[in-house]
Each structure stands twice: as C-alpha cells, then as structure tokens.
C-alpha cells in the first residue's frame, strides 16, 4: 500500500467485462442466426439484442470511469489476471445460452432467464457505482456510524475477536500502560485536525468500555508510548511558508512528553522533547514521524517518514529511525533509507523491528525490517526503476500492507503464539503472526494469519493474553482473546 491511510473502492472491472462478454455473445448468436435464417423472422429479437448491447456498453463505460471498456477488453483483459478471464468466459457462455433460450420458441421460461441475467448484471454495476458515489458523502469525518453486521470478524482457532469500544476519534495508535489500561490516540474534531488520546475505562455497571479523553490538541498523533509513568506522543502538522519565491513546507514533526502533575488522570504538562522533524509534508502529505518505542535502557526510538513518494529528499532526519535519550538529548540516526516507517517494536534479544510503507514501484507490498544500527534500507533508491543500488538492507518480509507492529514476549500469549511479531495490515485488514527464525545475524520470517480486523492500523498486547487492535476507519477498538 502506497499511503498509510487510504480507502480502496471495489473494482467494477470484472462486472464490466462480464456484461460486455454476455451481451456480445448473445448479440453475436442472434445476429448470426438472423442473417442466416432471414432477418424478417428474427427482426424483433435482433433489434432488442442490438439495443441491449448498446445500453450495456454505455452502462459499462459509465461504470469504468476513465477507460473505454471495449478497448480495454480488447487489449488489456489479460492483464487483469485469471479473475477477468473467468468473468469473460462466464459472460460469453451465459450470453450464448441466453440467446439460445431467446431463439427457442417452445419453452417460455428459457426466454425469461437471459433478460433476468442481463438486468441483474446491470443492477450490480449500478449498486457498486452508487455505493462509491454515496459513500463519499457518508464518510464525513464526524460520522461515527458502524459497519455493523456487514463486517466479518474471524481469527485462528483458539481466539475470538470481540468489539471492545466504539470511539469518536479515528484511531492511529494504541498502547497499554504498566497498570494494564488501554490508551488510544487518533484524529479528532470536525475535520480531523485535532488529535486526542483517550483511555478506555470499564463501566462497572454495564461491563462496557467507554472512552475518556486524557489529552488533546495534538495534531496528527501517529504513535504513543509510556515511559516512567509519562505518556509520549509522536505528532506532526502541515504548514507552509512562502520564502524568497519558494513555498516551503515547515518541519512540524515533534515528540511530546505528557505529564499528569495534579494526578486527576488527565495530562496537563506538555513538553516537546524533540521538534523540527519533517511533518506531513507535501508532495506526499501523509508521511511523518510515526510510531515510537522505548528500549530496556530507557532510550527512545522514533520512526520518521520521508516526505516524498519516491524521489530524493533533503531533510537529514527524513526516512530514518532516530535514537535519543528520554529527554530528547543525544539524538542520533539509528538507521536510514526508510520510506514511511510506521511502527517499531523490540523483539527477541532486544533486536529492533519496524514496518515500512515502502511498497515500491512494482507493488510488492510493504516491508517488515530487522533494524540494525547504521544500516541503510534502500529508499529512495530501491523505488527508482532502472537502477540497481548495491549495499542496502533487504526487508525480512513483505506484506500487502504493514502498519502497527508488536512483539509477544514469552508467556504473554498462549504457547505457539508467543515469541512472535504481530503485524497489522491496513490494506486487507489482517493481523499476521510472524515467527522469527534466527539465521546468522538476521532472521527468516514465517508469516501466518492470526485474525481479521477491518481497517486495522495498530495493535498492542495487554495482560491475560489479550491483543488489542484499533480500526482507523471504523473508529473502533477490538480485542482478540483466547477462547
């Protein structure tokens, strides 16, 4: 996935190809029979078939915006892979059979079948297009509507996925403090320009969880972590200044330490421990400093995205993982050459692992990296077509998309599930378990499905073998618990 948070519409291509193949096949047979058997005898059928073909092609053109479906079908259907070919052949045979039904005089029900299939396909196309058109208006930032029963939730056997809480914020990051309380950071406010951190508090009477705001006015919070009782938030903004004829994006990225001085459970004393990191700068506008984590010695690691989609960038800290003291002193570049490292965690032996939204030009998927001090992970050079740059670190795995990451230490989950990384894939809504097999200085990753949570961006592991997962688009927190 190229961007960290984006929405993918359903493709209409298969339906379009089916429809065209269907009416094309039917029309071919009817026209052929009409020409061979006498136009007068089949005149009405032929006229109907031609009108149906015309209507279908126009509908297909409308449903496949930006492309001429007939030309696409002629030159590019193969590129769509097996699905398109299957749809094409199914369409063609259905069309031929329907035409046979129309041409036969004896059995009336056969005549009804063809037109029904035709109308149904067109309705399907309309439904998809309508959904795409309407959803743009439904998904207004303030809406908190749920996907309800439409969402399929599943997991590997031995676990079940439960809805834990519905939020008013669109979550980006989740963390569990030392007392086992769950905190979620996310976009808030009418245009998502505010940023909030909420604590999930159990209502003793009803047993449900409610969100209580503990910090706000933190724009674009993309990572939270606890250290020594304080909350650290990685955040950024988007701001440009025209300077000497050039519009310049300002470096708005920062990590803020939040302290609760009066002990009311709400954070009231904010300190930027580091600032001046590249924010959500254009041209990409989405990459920024994301997930943060503390190691056992109390050093803070900060992921910093590069502001470009694939080209070079100038900020020295862009596309890196920074290492610093908990008070922001002694900042050093720990690793570089990342595109939009989204989250990081410490695995076996204190080794650092990160996800990187670095699906390169060939669309191989996002990266899971074993981060070694001083290494370069290839961006932007590995995303440039036609050049081969030697000396960069390859990822240990690629996933369709990779956002939040957490390591399940020994005993934190049932046997067979602990001592593994868990990676959230926003694109397909999967949590994948990644077992690590040591090989030399690095690891081989063995990836398997763990659970499915729609639009998942981040996950955390809490007490009692509970995995918490937050869903950005749905504004929900799920928990995955052993059955």
Partner 1 sequence: MRSLPRIVFGCVVACLLTGMVAICASATMFPLDSRRVDVGAGRNEFSKRCASCHTVSSDQATYGPSLQNIGLAAASRVDGVAAERYIFDSIVDPSAFRAPGTSGEMPKGLAGQLSAEQLGNLVAFLCEQGGKARYRAIMALPARPQASKDELRVNLNLASVEHGKQLFFGKAQCSSCHWLDGSPGAMLRAPELLNAGVFSRDALRQAIVDPSKHVAPAYVESTVLYDGMTVSGYRLPSKPDRVKLLSTDNTGALLPVSIKVNELEPLNANGDVVRTSTMSPMPVYKFAENADELEALLDFLLTIR
The Cα 128–Cα 413 span in angstroms is 41
Residue ranges in 338-377 that form contacts with partner 1 under rule CB under 8 A: 376
Residue ranges in 389-448 that form contacts with partner 1 under rule CB under 8 A: 389-392
Check residue 194 for interaction with partner 1 (CB under 8 A). Answer: no
Q: Which is nearer to partner 1, 24 or 253 (CB)?
A: 24
Counting every residue, how long is the chain?
A: 483
Nearest 10 degrees: Cα torsion 73, 77, 83, 88: 40
Q: Considering the complex, what minimum distance in angstroms separates the CB of residue 226 from partner 1?
A: 35
Q: Which is nearer to partner 1, 31 or 174 (CB)?
A: 31
Residues 213, 197 contacting (CB under 8 angstroms): yes
Check residue 229 for interaction with partner 1 (CB under 8 A). Answer: no
Check residue 20 for interaction with partner 1 (CB under 8 A). Answer: yes
The Cα 337–Cα 301 span in angstroms is 16
- Binding partner 1 (rule: CB under 8 A), the pick from 5, 19, 53, 406 is 53
- Binding partner 1 (rule: CB under 8 A), the pick from 27, 197, 302, 352 is 27
Considering only 118-126, 155-163, 223-231, 245-253, which stretch makes contact with partner 1 by CB under 8 A?
245-253
Residue ranges in 301-340 that form contacts with partner 1 under rule CB under 8 A: 307-308, 311-314
- Binding partner 1 (rule: CB under 8 A), the pick from 246, 296, 329, 439 is 246
Residue 312: CB atoms within 10 Å: 10
**Helix, strand or coil, per DSSP, at residue 304:** strand
Considering only 26-34, 79-87, 290-298, 365-373, which stretch makes contact with partner 1 by CB under 8 A?
26-34
The Cα 469–Cα 428 span in angstroms is 14
Burial state string for 120-135 with b = 16 or more CB within 10 A and e = fewer than 16: ebbebbeebbeeeeee
Check residue 77 for interaction with partner 1 (CB under 8 A). Answer: no
- Binding partner 1 (rule: CB under 8 A), the pick from 5, 13, 60, 306 is 60
Q: Which is nearer to partner 1, 54 or 145 (CB)?
A: 54
Helix (H) or strand (E) holding 16: helix 13-37
Q: Is the peptide bond before 331 cis (omega within 30 degrees of 0)?
A: no
Q: How many residues bind partner 1 (CB under 8 A)?
A: 53
Burial state string for 386-422 with b = 16 or more CB within 10 A and e = fewer than 16: eeeeeeebebbbbbbbbbbbbbbeeebbeeebebbbb
Q: Considering the complex, what minimum distance in angstroms separates the CB of residue 261 from partner 1?
A: 42
Check residue 283 for interaction with partner 1 (CB under 8 A). Answer: yes
All residues at 6 or more sequence positions from 13 whose CB lies less than 8 Å from its CB, including other chains: 64, 72, 80, 84
Residue in the block written with tokens 């396909």: 121
Q: Which is nearer to partner 1, 74 or 138 (CB)?
A: 74
Contact positions vs partner 1 (CB under 8 A): 20, 24, 27-37, 50, 53-58, 60-62, 67-71, 244-248, 283, 307-308, 311-314, 376, 378, 380-381, 384-392
């Amino acid at each position: 996935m190229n961007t960290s948070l984006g929405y993918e519409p359903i493709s209409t291509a298969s339906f379009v190809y089916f429809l065209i193949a269907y009416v094309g096949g039917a029309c071919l047979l009817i026209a052929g029979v009409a020409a061979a058997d006498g136009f007068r005898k089949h005149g009405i059928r032929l006229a109907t078939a031609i009108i149906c073909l015309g209507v279908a092609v126009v509908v297909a053109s409308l449903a496949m915006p930006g492309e001429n479906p007939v030309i696409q079908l002629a030159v590019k259907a193969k590129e769509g892979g097996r699905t398109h070919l299957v749809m094409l052949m199914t369409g063609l045979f259905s069309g031929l059979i329907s035409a046979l039904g129309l041409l036969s005089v004896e059995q009336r029900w056969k005549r009804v079948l063809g037109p029904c299939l035709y109308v149904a396909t067109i309705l399907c196309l309309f439904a998809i297009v309508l959904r795409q058109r309407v959803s743009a208006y439904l998904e207004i930032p303030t809406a908190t509507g749920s996907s309800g029963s439409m969402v399929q939730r599943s997991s590997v056997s031995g676990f079940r996925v439960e809805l834990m809480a519905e939020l008013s914020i669109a979550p980006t990051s989740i963390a569990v403090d030392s007392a086992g309380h769950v905190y979620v950071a996310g976009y808030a406010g009418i245009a998502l320009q505010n940023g909030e951190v909420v604590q999930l508090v159990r209502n003793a009477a009803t047993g449900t969880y409610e969100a209580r705001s503990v910090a706000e006015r933190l724009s674009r919070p993309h990572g939270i972590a606890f250290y020594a009782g304080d909350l650290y938030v990685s955040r950024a903004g988007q701001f440009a200044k025209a300077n000497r004829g050039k519009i310049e994006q300002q470096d708005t990225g920062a990590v803020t330490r939040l302290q609760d001085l009066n002990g009311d459970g709400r954070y009231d004393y904010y300190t930027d421990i580091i600032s001046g990191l590249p924010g959500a700068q254009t041209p990409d506008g989405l990459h920024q400093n994301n997930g943060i984590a503390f190691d056992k010695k109390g050093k803070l690691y900060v992921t910093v995205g590069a502001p470009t989609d694939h080209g070079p960038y100038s900020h020295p800290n862009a596309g890196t993982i920074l290492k610093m003291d908990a008070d922001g002193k002694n900042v050093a570049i720990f690793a570089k050459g990342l595109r939009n490292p989204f989250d990081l965690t410490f695995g076996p032996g204190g080794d650092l692992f990160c996800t990187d939204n670095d699906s390169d030009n060939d669309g191989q998927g996002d990266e899971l990296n074993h981060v070694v001090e001083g290494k370069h992970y290839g961006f932007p050079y590995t995303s440039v077509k036609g050049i081969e740059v030697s000396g960069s670190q390859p990822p240990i795995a690629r996933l369709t998309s990779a956002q939040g990451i957490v390591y399940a230490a020994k005993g934190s989950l049932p046997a067979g599930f602990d001592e593994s990384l868990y990676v959230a894939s926003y694109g397909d809504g999967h949590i994948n378990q990644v077992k690590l097999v040591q090989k030399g200085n690095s690891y081989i990753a063995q990836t398997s499905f763990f659970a499915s949570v729609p639009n998942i961006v981040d996950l955390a592991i809490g007490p009692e073998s509970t995995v918490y997962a937050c869903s950005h688009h749905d504004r929900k927190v799920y928990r995955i618990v052993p059955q």
